[in-house]
Amino acid sequence: MTDKGDQRPGTPMPDFEALSRNMAQFVEEAGRVAAAYLKPYEEGRAKGGAADEVGDIVKTLGNVAEKWMSDPQKAIEAQSALTSRFLDLWASTLKRMQGEQAEPVITPDPKDKRFADPEWEENPLFDFIKQAYLLTTDWADRLAAEAEGLDDHTRHKAQFYVRQIASALAPSNFIATNPELIRTTLRESGANLVRGMQMLAEDVEAGGGQLKVRQSDPHRFEVGINLANTPGKVIFRNELVELIQYSPTTDKVLRRPLLIVPPWINKYYILDLNPDKSFIRWAVAQGLTVFCISWVNPDERLAEKSFEDYMREGIFAALDAIARNTGEEEVSAVGYCVGGTLLAATLAFMAANGDTRIAGATFLTTQVDFTHAGDLKVFVDEDQIRAIEQEMAKRGYLEGSRMATAFNMLRPNDLIWPYIVNNYVRGVSPLPFDLLYWNSDSTRMPAANHSFYMRECYLKNNLAKGRMNFGNTRLELSDVTIPTYHLATREDHIAPARSVFLGAQLFGGRIRFVLAGSGHIAGVVNPPAKPKYQHWVNGKPRGELDDWLKEAQEVPGSWWPDWIDWIAAQSPERVKARDPAEGPLEPLCDAPGTYVKMRD
């Protein structure tokens, strides 16, 4: 994502005639951005929610300020501490300007790519700007962390919001305070700003008046062509799901079919990105009859579809179709993220009602206990949920972009600001990257489903407590006695490993827990042929994750082979491969189907 044409040393001189033309065009393109932003308001279709979010930030940080100002002596001490460090920085900078050596007062994290350009260290002015920023943001974070009398949730929110503001105000984001951007702009006589403003206008238009930051080249991918292209057929469809059965590539297959329940927050093809990365294609090659749910991208007509409806019209409908097309009454199931949470609740419902159609279950980065759910809990309290419910009531669903933004905010220095700077200041289009294209291909969520999930899981943690109900059935995870396989990833910001580990212990059957390297996506999509990360095994989860990990065996490479061994051990019998084109259910269309192509 760096501009390879930006070569040091020396400050380039611009072509002033070209600069004047580019600045005029820049202003013209800025007008296009403003028009794209204002158009939804003029047409009465502007998306809400921003005012509520800003209001919560102001309220939260106001609480922090109030706690400090209630004790003037402590407030003075905090201010004095910052002043003292700035005096040290000023003295250090003066020494450097006089040609003397001076130790930095504060240094960035070695992993912080924002200050990688050598001039951040070599130039005393930019070094001062960098250190001043680091001192201020470190001080602000300490204020949030050390404010006395704050409840845990408010403190968590305050620290999260401070990090968001700090990321937004980084000097690396602005031309005047970033040496690399200064050189780029002078060398190109401002042409980079024109290109950036053109992309900004396009992205505001694509976001319906809100900025939808492009993270990949959107023109280089097409679902069904170079994404989600594992051969198969859609064998069943209702208003919530299409069920895909994949074509076999082996003569014999395991008797027990496999049903994949992906999250509905994004499209299912994260498990079928391309032939080299596709978990689905690989599972087919191991001799599994693979079925995968493809959730619809819901609109206002499905506003009342509930979490329980997703069980009945999603998982249960899929099980019925699998039985009709294969003659098998038992399946293995895989649930990913919120799809896994739904699968866990479904298994508890089935256990309570004597339903044995799912004989083994795998949970990929799935939370069922939300005690340690990480930074996403920042967005969950009664006031915020009520505000989201009021917004969803207007159209019957939550915009997919809202959840995508929330996920990106968990890692703003990786997933937001580098792209804003690269796209709109450097004027460089992002490289084609299938995973980030998928990340931007968000889906809407029905109001009833999303409200239930936020309240029952994140706010009340009722599934873990045995207080969640589907109809008259109370869901108790300890009643689930089938074998279960739980995969967590070590750097997961969405389903933290500690949270997955704790939830896995709630199940009543034989439990296998595996910890993979990397995060929520890369740790899961880690094929054996090109593994990037290792994994750890230590059998059943017990005690605390750190203690489990101390005794765990580190295994190089992908966790996929460990999983297929576990799957095969559950039901090793093999039968003749099943072709979806020849089953009792007449195929409706080729994979990947139609629902996956519905855009937000």
pLDDT at site 25: 84
Q: For residue range 451-472, what is the model confidence (pLDDT) as tens digits?
A: 999 999 999 999 999 999 999 9
Q: In angstroms, rounded to a whole number, what is the distance separating the alpha carbons of residues 581 and 590?
A: 10
pLDDT grade for 2, boundaries at 50, 70 and 90:
very low
Q: How far is CA 84 from CA 80, 109, 127, 140, in A?
A: 6, 22, 18, 15
Element (H, E) at 120: helix 119-122
Catalytic hit among 292, 337, 457, 589 = 337
pLDDT at site 51: 58
pLDDT grade for 3, boundaries at 50, 70 and 90:
very low
List 330's β-bridge partners, or say none: none
* Total residue count of the chain as it appears in this document: 600
pLDDT at site 5: 45
pLDDT grade for 286, boundaries at 50, 70 and 90:
very high
Q: In angstroms, rounded to a whole number, what is the distance separating the alpha carbons of residues 23 and 190?
A: 7
Element (H, E) at 446: strand 445-446
Mean pLDDT, all residues of the chain: 92
Q: Per the structure block, which two tokens stand in for 248?
A: 């076999």
- Short-list 188, 484, 247, CA closest to 364: 484
Is the Cβ–Cβ distance between 274 and 348 less than 8 Å? no
pLDDT grade for 498, boundaries at 50, 70 and 90:
very high
Across 51-77, average pLDDT: 86
Q: For residue range 123-168, what is the model confidence (pLDDT) as tens digits?
A: 999 999 999 999 999 999 999 999 999 999 999 999 999 999 999 9
Is the Cβ–Cβ distance between 25 and 427 less than 8 Å? no
Please say if 337 is a catalytic residue: yes
Is the Cβ–Cβ distance between 1 and 418 less than 8 Å? yes
Q: Which of 30-39, 222-231, 283-292, 552-561 has the lowest mean pLDDT?
A: 30-39
Q: Per the structure block, which two tokens stand in for 136?
A: 């201020």
Q: Does the pLDDT at position 287 exceed 60?
A: yes
Bridging pattern class, strands 331-336 and 290-295: unpaired
Q: In angstroms, rounded to a whole number, what is the distance separating the alpha carbons of residues 362 and 437?
A: 26
pLDDT at site 6: 52
Element (H, E) at 267: none
pLDDT grade for 30, boundaries at 50, 70 and 90:
confident
Q: In angstroms, rounded to a whole number, what is the distance separating the alpha carbons of residues 268 and 70?
A: 51
Q: Does the pLDDT at position 261 exceed 80?
A: yes
User: DSSP states of 495-524 as a string?
Assistant: S-HHHHHHHHTT-SS-EEEEEESS-TTTTT
Is the Cβ–Cβ distance between 186 and 5 less than 8 Å? no
- Residue 86 neighbours by CB under 8 Å, 6+ apart: 132, 135
Q: How far is CA 157 from CA 54, 380, 413, in A?
A: 13, 10, 18
pLDDT grade for 279, boundaries at 50, 70 and 90:
very high
Q: In angstroms, rounded to a whole number, what is the distance separating the alpha carbons of residues 340 and 501?
A: 14
Across 403-419, average pLDDT: 87
- Short-list 283, 293, 319, 279, CA closest to 521: 279
Is the Cβ–Cβ distance between 272 and 244 less than 8 Å? no
First to last CA, the chain: 27
Q: Per the structure block, which two tokens stand in for 185?
A: 């702009």
Q: Per the structure block, which two tokens stand in for 377?
A: 């809990």
Q: Does the pLDDT at position 510 exceed 50?
A: yes
Q: In angstroms, rounded to a whole number, what is the distance separating the alpha carbons of residues 600 and 578?
A: 34
User: Taking the alpha carbons of 261, 266, 272, 277 in that order, is the dihedral positive or negative?
Assistant: negative
pLDDT grade for 62, boundaries at 50, 70 and 90:
very high
- Residue 505 neighbours by CB under 8 Å, 6+ apart: 511, 541, 542
Residue matched to tokens 């027990």: 256
